[in-house]
Structure 1
Amino acid sequence: MDFKDKVVLITGASSGLGAAIAVYMSQLSAKLVLVGRNKKNLEAVAQQCEKSKGIKALSVIADVSKEADVERIVNETINHFGKLHVLVNNAGVVELGGIKDTAALSKYDKIMSTNVRGVLQLTMLAVPHLIKTKGNIVNISSIVSTRAAPGMLAYCMSKAALDHFTKCIALDLAADGVRVNAVNPGLVKTNILNVAGFSDVEVDSLSKKVIETTPLGKLAEADDIAAMVAFLASDCAKSITGCTHPVDSGKSLV
């Protein structure tokens, strides 16, 4: 796979899966637009990406839950590169809590504003540019889009919405030659659980339980997700659209 002269926009690129996807795509010669809220982390990822093939990434400090920021992401991308080939909607937030949580509604609003509304707005603004290049979109969803997870009500709902969003816009954009797919990770070795409020001890305990009940007996690595994103965004997947792709060491089978 080669992304030479291809412009790839990745949200949530300052850490976790987004950072892994960015580094992986940089090794395939992509021209990157890296979006994130943490300036220090984003700059570090951009520097790491530049080391791969000497291609300087465009870093955009932005929050996809804010409309003005989303507009700025697209404007800066087009002003800098003049085109867009791949949009990776990776940015997402996690809040713990179920229906008995008294803050369930506020957590729902926070999660949906980033995981769904922000994705919708950014995609809507990117579509005219993707149509011009016959580009494609890869959404980062989760296996909890179809599997209930205790204490993660709003997050599960947001990923279910993202899966259906993927299918709906794949149908909308097929005639324009724009493909749309989703990657659905299981639990991956990143800091996402710590950010959600889990302690290191709790993360280790949960990881052990997941591994014990996963067919391949291991967690997926961030690079596994990045490899699937790259495949779906490449010409190798030119006949694949509207699909969700679990990368979970078989967890969704049990």
Structure 2
Amino acid sequence: MNKMGFLNKVALVTGGSSGIGAAVAARLTAEGANVAIVGRNSAKLAAVAQKCEQLHAKPLVLIGDVTKEDNVQNIVNETIIRFGKLDVLINNAGVGANVGSILAKNALEEYDRVLATNLRAIVNITNLAAPHLIQSKGNIINISSVSGLRPYVTTGFAYNASKAALDHFTKTIAGELAAKGVRVNGVNPGPVNTDIMKNMGANAAEEEKLWHIMKKGTALGRISDPEEVADLVLFLASDKAKGITGGSYTIDNGTSIRS
């Protein structure tokens, strides 16, 4: 326990009901942290909470929509009320694009929807959480994507733009908050075996086809599990990474180097 320095630390994880967020919450809990998990699906959050409780302690479960400002204010407030501080903010909540083409009639509507979650919500919660992180000399991890580093037509203009903007946001606030003792880093996963395609409405056949295409698009010929990304997130959030800030760390099985 406490191999990475998380004992009695407080972490807030958005998008914690499944996938990367759920894996991060479980790993943080196993390392002794007190964790608040945020999501919209109460059943999935309950399942994650049960797993965390088995590992170490029951997390604070917060059902909310990060695109709604009052929800975000409540998320931060409830975390501080329960635990008294905040050491780590994991901005993981994100959505994929249902429309990829700039030629689509609803292109602007889709852009607004994706940016609301993938960028604006992160700016909002970071703004509210930063004063608490300054007090604790904590850190922030933003979950981005390889689509922020290299534009993939298949993931769509809105998603690509949101993640590229998030990477610049990460570096900018890392520069600003460094003087106050707060580290900020980004993680850029490639394809990860999560619920994102189901959440976008893909049926089983479509999902299988898409996973096959993405697997072929990696240099290593594999799809990551959420736990692999969680390992990287925990390292960056831990005392072992005390000299690391302003970086974007890729974990994509070589997707971004595949010609």
TM-score computed with the length of structure 1 as normaliser = 0.96
- Alignment correspondent of 1:186: 190
**Aligned counterpart, 1:209:** 213
- Per-residue deviation, 1:246: 0.8
Q: How does 1:1-254 map to 2 (within 5 A)?
A: 1-53=4-56, 55-97=57-99, 98-151=101-154, 152-254=156-258
- Aligned residues between the structures: 253
Distance, in Å, in 2 between the alignment partners of 1:250 and 1:6 is 33
Please list every run of 5 or more consecutive structure 2 residues that lacks an aligned counterpart in the other structure.
none
Deviates more, 1:60-69 or 1:212-221: 212-221
Find the aligned partners of 2:196 and 2:217 in 1 and give their Cα distance: 20
Read off the aligned partner of 2:70 and give its amino acid letter.
A
Q: Which runs of 4+ in 1 moved over 6 A?
A: none
Q: How many Å apart are 1:203 and its aligned residue? A: 2.2
Structure 1: distance between partners of 2:214 and 2:111: 25
Q: Which moved more, 1:200-209 or 1:94-103?
A: 200-209
Q: Which amino acid aligns with 1:73?
A: I
Deviates more, 1:23-32 or 1:142-151: 142-151
Equivalents in 2 of 1:149, 1:102: separation in Å?
Answer: 21
- TM, length-normalised to structure 2: 0.95
CA deviation map 1:40-92 (0-9, x unaligned)? 21121111101101x12111111110000010011101111010000000011
Unaligned stretches of 5+ residues in structure 1: none
Query: What is the SS of the residue equivalent to 2:43?
Result: helix
- What CA distance in whole angstroms lies between the structure 1 residues aligned with 2:41 and 2:186? 25
- When residues 149 and 199 of structure 1 are mapped into structure 2, their CA distance, relative to the original with a 3 A threshold, is farther
Identity score, percent? 49
Provide Cα deviations, 1:166-197, integer angstroms capped at 9, x if missing partner: 00000000001100001111011111112123
